[in-house]
Structure 1
């Protein structure tokens, strides 16, 4: 029950920061949201990793660190306005909604609400798709944070907590989906 509660708390904190400009920009509320989000995510991710072998968790951690470094370096160093990642928000939101709908239908299938085989599903493919999707989200959010003169959209300097929450969520999701790809190593 504690992992589910922590996930609910972190989700509420993230959506509160996402939907309320006042909450994400004014102290002490932004710091309370960051604390609730961080503690909730830490407990949830810690719980999830207990279902995998140590080697798989370490491999996923190293792969996530390498991906995060590479994506961040590219996003920060890329100055060509033709490749302005700050304009990808609508496309990423659409892809995220499709991905979420597929995940919910898969969950309904697992609980017997939808018939088995209703969706074509392979854990490794789903994990790779999730890792790729959240890698694009990481590039997008990084560009919003470090935006230069060539970007159309950017975060306000008062959005430092919300920016941290976005990056944290993207990196955690990349880690979880890479871990799913390594799922044959489950405990």
Structure 2
């Protein structure tokens, strides 16, 4: 129930005198009302910065991505170490030419050299992505064209090398492949970091880890071909 003072005015009074009565309450323009609260960019009304959850989420996503990537690389290089240092396995691979050529088997020196160069490239790319202002996420079309050209060069190189092995041609193709996948590593790292034209969603951390893993493995394989040809 409501009191008489709180009840609305009659219909006739409300139609002919819409501002009469005390219902609904119409604030006057000259009334001293408190100003609306002011909000600073990046802060909530309580004064807490709104970037804290974003930064926390970003660190969680990056941590998950690099944790998965570390596990993938650890498993991969453990398998490489088995085929490199366990003599029965290494001799078994050498004994069968099909497995030998399918495994791209190289000397231990070349493998370690490729691993070291790949690690340096990955660290340099990560530091570069944090420091540079160049947005590589907007260059997806150019990277796709570079990948297609790399595939064409690879087919031509395979045809030529099947007739006669040309060391400099093999090393040139491997060097081009290492450069192309280094650019892909820059692209995918900036997608993970964010603050660019394109960025991956926090729910896509598995996709981010797989993308970085594929790029690093391809860089390692191409550098291994260069170092293996150089040490032969």
Q: Give the TM-score range, shorter chain.
A: 0.5 to 0.7
Q: Secondary structure at the match of 1:88?
A: helix
In 1, distance between residues paired with 2:178 and 2:153? 15
Matches within 5 A, 1:17-56: 42=76, 46=80, 51-56=105-110
Equivalent residue in structure 2 for 1:66, among 120, 123, 147: 120
In 1, distance between residues paired with 2:227 and 2:103? 12
Alignment deviations for residues 5-25 of structure 1 (CA, whole Å, 9 cap, x no partner):
xxxxxxxxxxxxxxxxxxxxx
Q: Secondary structure at the match of 2:216?
A: helix
1:158 aligns to 2:203 (yes or no): yes
* Residues 108 and 166 of structure 1: CA distance in aligned 2, closer, same or farther (over 3 Å): same
Deviation at 1:182, TM superposition (A): 1.1
Alignment deviations for residues 106-146 of structure 1 (CA, whole Å, 9 cap, x no partner):
3344456xxx69x9x61111111111111111000000111
1:126 aligns to 2:173 (yes or no): yes
Q: Secondary structure at the match of 1:127?
A: helix
In 2, distance between residues paired with 1:103 and 1:60? 20
TM-score by length of 2: 0.53
Alignment deviations for residues 12-43 of structure 1 (CA, whole Å, 9 cap, x no partner):
xxxxxxxxxxxxxxxxxxxxxx9xxx59x949
Tell me if the contact between 1:76 and 1:142 (Cα under 8 Å) persists in the aligned partners.
no
1:90 aligns to 2:141 (yes or no): yes
- Equivalent residue number for residue 101 of structure 1: 152
Equivalent residue in structure 1 for 2:214, among 160, 169, 174: 169
Flag structure 1 segments of 5+ consecutive residues without an equivalent: 1-33
Higher helix fraction: Structure 1 or Structure 2?
1
Pairwise CA RMSD of aligned residues?
3.0
Higher relative contact order (CA 8 A, sep 6+): 1
TM-score by length of 1: 0.64
Flag structure 2 segments of 5+ consecutive residues without an equivalent: 1-67, 84-101
In 2, distance between residues paired with 1:100 and 1:177? 13
Structure 1 or 2, whichever has the larger Rg, is 2
Q: Secondary structure at the match of 2:152?
A: helix
